[in-house]
Amino acid sequence: MGALSPIAIVSLISSTNTPLQGQLGLTPVPTSQETLPTYIVRIPPGAAMRDNPIHYYPDNIAIPSGVTIVWFNDDPGQPHTVTSGKFGDKASGIFFNSGIIPYTAGFQHTFDGTRSILYHCEIHPWRIGVVSVSNAYVRGHSFVLASGTGQILNLTKDHRTLLDIKPITISSEKTTPITYNIDIIQKNGDVRT
């Protein structure tokens, strides 16, 4: 674990509940807007080649429930698919199946519940990826932290995770940008925030 750099692996996207003003010229209507993060998985140039170690990047991700993942085909001239399950299995494609994704196109799917889903490419069936979905909350000093991996981020198991951080209390007249300072501490091979 010592060789890994947690900062390079942990992807941070915040989600806030911020009161917004109503339309111009009218009495402001208090509303709240939830910004749900979208997670990108890239299919990079060269992904179609058999000896290329990368097909989906990242190929193993953990997300909280309710997050949308977009797979983007960035492999010039090469079609790919994103198909749940194992290649040739009866249950293949039950959760999601992109069909052919041409170069520069994408496919998206919103995940919920608690499950771990393996997926593959129908054109390059030896290529697989995993999406793990779970909601686990850790209460910090002044915020609630949700992580797709549970309370502890295990970088051996989850190559990348998405943290969802919400302040416990916040009041604001206007939309206010929020900056989070996060310390990631490695302890016994696990990474804690």
Of 5-13, 14-22, 72-80, 95-103, the window that binds Cu ion (rule: CB under 5 A) is 72-80
Instruction: Tell me if 124 contacts Cu ion by CB under 5 A.
Output: yes
In whole angstroms, the minimum distance from the beta carbon of 118 to Cu ion comes to 15
In whole angstroms, the minimum distance from the beta carbon of 157 to Cu ion comes to 24
Reading phi first (left if > 0) and then psi (alpha if -120 to 50, else beta), residue 188 is in: left
Contact of 123 with 80, CB cutoff 8 Å = yes
In whole angstroms, the minimum distance from the beta carbon of 111 to Cu ion comes to 21
Of 16-24, 100-108, 124-132, 183-191, the window that binds Cu ion (rule: CB under 5 A) is 124-132
By C-beta, is 117 or 123 nearer to Cu ion?
123
Nearest C-alpha neighbor of 178 from the set 10, 48, 51, 16: 16
By C-beta, is 83 or 193 nearer to Cu ion?
83
Residue 80, strand partner residues: 101
In whole angstroms, the minimum distance from the beta carbon of 73 to Cu ion comes to 8
How far apart are alpha carbons 74 and 59 in whole angstroms? Answer: 15
Instruction: Tell me if 80 contacts Cu ion by CB under 5 A.
Output: yes
By C-beta, is 54 or 123 nearer to Cu ion?
123
Strands (E), the chain: 11-12, 17-20, 31-34, 38-43, 60-63, 68-73, 83-84, 106-110, 115-120, 128-133, 136-139, 143-147, 160-167, 185-187, 190-192
How far apart are alpha carbons 16 and 35 in whole angstroms? Answer: 6
By C-beta, is 81 or 193 nearer to Cu ion?
81
Among 70, 118, 123, 184, binds Cu ion (CB under 5 A): 123
In whole angstroms, the minimum distance from the beta carbon of 38 to Cu ion comes to 21
In whole angstroms, the minimum distance from the beta carbon of 5 to Cu ion comes to 29
Residue 186 burial by Cβ neighbours in a 10 Å radius (0-12, 13-18, 19+):
middle
Among 62, 67, 82, 121, binds Cu ion (CB under 5 A): 121
Site of interaction with Cu ion (CB under 5 A): 80, 121, 123-124
